[in-house]
Structure formats: C-alpha cells, structure tokens
Amino acid sequence: MVDRKIRFVTHTVSWEETHKQLNTQTNQLEDFIKTEARECYSEEQKDILISKLAERNITAEVIEEEKPSAQMLEKCEGKKFSSYNDAQLFIETGELPLTEADILALAITEIYEMISGGAS
C-alpha cells in the first residue's frame, strides 16, 4: 500500500554486498556477505535500482512477480484504505471497510430506531 492505495509488486531485486566486520575473538576484520532485497512497484523503479547497483559494481538478480489480473487491477483502481489489513480484506472479499461516516450513520440509525420504537 502506497499513499493509502493498493500497489502490486512487479519485481523483486536481490543482491549481495560484502562488508567488513570485526571478529572480536581474533581482533581482525573479516568479510561478511549480506544479502539484500527490495520490492519494486514498477518497471521504472526496478530499472533505477538496478542502475544504482550497477554504479557500485553490484550485480542484481531480478524476479518478475506474478501480475494481478486485469479484473483485480480494475477492482482496486481508485480505492483508498486506512490500513494494510483493510486493503487485504478488500482483495480477499471485495468488501470495503466501513468509514467513520458509515459507522456514525449506523449509530444514528440505531439510536433513531431505539427512540422511535420506544415512543410507540
């Protein structure tokens, strides 16, 4: 989720970097290989990351992620969510979460029904 909108990962870029780390037993610097990975949400974002890594002479591995269906893209277009869980629920069930206005409207309706039902 980015800016409260659902975005789908298009690629995962991973690479290895070698860092120096102090071995406290020998008091020597040793090479330590660390694997990094980043998720990209567009072809452009992936290309920029690969270019930056190439400038540092780092070779990256790119995994193209499964693309969501056109139906899923259409279903999610323009929708905004306040949390990751709300977005996940929408993807799984198609149900939009209640907004504060929805909750307030339901509460007012319930109070109205209690008052009008009790007055008869």
pTM: 0.61
Mean pLDDT score, 58-87: 85
Three-state SS annotation for the chain: CECCECCCCCEEEEEEEEEEEEECCCCEEEEEEEEEEEEECCHHHHHHHHHHHHHCCCCEEEEECCCCCHHHHHHHCCCECCCHHHHHHHHHHCCCCCCHHHHHHHHHHHHHHHHHHHHC
Where does the pLDDT of residue 75 fall: very low under 50, low under 70, confident under 90, or very high at 90 and above? confident
pLDDT tens-digit profile of 30-71? 998 999 999 999 999 999 999 999 999 999 999 999 988 888
pLDDT at 93: 83
Percent of the chain residues past pLDDT 70, beyond the cut: 92
